[in-house]
Amino acid sequence: MDKLFIETDRFIITEFNESMIESVHKNSLDEDNRRFVPDEVFETMDEARDIVQLFLEWYKNERAPLVYAIVLNNGVNIGYVQAVPIYEAEWEIGYHIAREYTGNGYATDAVKAFLPVIMGRLSLDKVIGVCLSENIASCRVLEKCGFVLKHTGQDNYQGQSLNVCHYIYHAV
C-alpha cells in the first residue's frame, strides 16, 4: 500500500515514524486516554517505541490496524486517527487528540479528512464507530462526521461490560 499522506490547512495525517516516539508516549498519558482507551496508554518510552515499531509493521499489511499521526503544520504530533479491522468485512474508526489540543475541532477535521481516503484504499462502503456513552466528546465527533447512532447499551468494551454507543457511517 502506498504511504498515506493527507494534508489539510491545519495539519497532516501521515504514517508514524521513530521521531514521534516521545510524543506518542506523552500524548498517551493524558486522563482522557486513560479513562476511555486504557489499552492505548504507553507508560514508558520503551512501550511507546514498541508500539511505533508495530505501526511500521502494520503499514505493510492491509488487514492490520492502520494508525496514522495527526501532525500540526508546526510539526507537533497531537494524536492519531485509525482504521481497525473488527470483523471479517468491517472496520472501526478510532482517534485521539492529546488533552492540550482538544476542543479545537482537530478530531472532527481529522476523521472527515481520513474517512474518504481510507475507505477508498480499503474499498469500504461503511465504517463503524464505537465509544463509551459517557464519552460525549467522542459521540459528538462521530455525529459531526456523519455517523448515525445505531445502538446504545451494555457491550464488551476494553474487556468490561460497559454502556457504549454504536455508530455507522455509510459512504456517500
CA gap 169, 72 in Å, rounded:
26
Does the residue 172 lie in any domain? no
Does the residue 42 lie in any domain? yes
CB atoms < 10 A from the CB of 84, how many?
16
Question: What pLDDT, on the 0 to 100 scale, is given for residue 2?
Answer: 80
Q: Which amino acid is at 118?
A: I
Question: What pLDDT, on the 0 to 100 scale, is given for residue 4?
Answer: 93
Does the residue 131 lie in any domain? no
Does the residue 129 lie in any domain? no
Residue whose C-alpha cell is 462502503? 125
Does the residue 160 lie in any domain? no
Segments in the chain below pLDDT 50 = none
pLDDT in tens, 86-107: 877 799 999 999 999 999 999 9
CA gap 4, 102 in Å, rounded:
24
The number of domains in the chain is: 1
Three-state SS string over the chain comes to CCCCEEECCCEEEEECCHHHHHHHHHHHCCHHHHHHCHHHCCCCHHHHHHHHHHHHHHCCCCCCCEEEEEEECCCCEEEEEEEEECCCCCEEEEEEECHHHCCCCHHHHHHHHHHHHHHHHHCCCEEEEEEECCCHHHHHHHHHCCCEEEEEEEEEECCEEEEEEEEEEECC
Does the residue 98 lie in any domain? yes
The sheet with strand 66-72 has its strands ordered as 5-7, 11-15, 66-72, 77-85, 91-97, 126-132, 160-170, 148-157
Q: In terms of residue numbers, what domain contains 85? A: 5-124
CA gap 33, 75 in Å, rounded:
22
Does the residue 65 lie in any domain? yes
Question: What pLDDT, on the 0 to 100 scale, is given for residue 1?
Answer: 63
Question: What pLDDT, on the 0 to 100 scale, is given for residue 171?
Answer: 87
pLDDT in tens, 102-136: 999 999 999 999 999 999 999 999 999 999 999 99
- Domain of residue 77, CATH code: 3.40.630.30
Does the residue 30 lie in any domain? yes
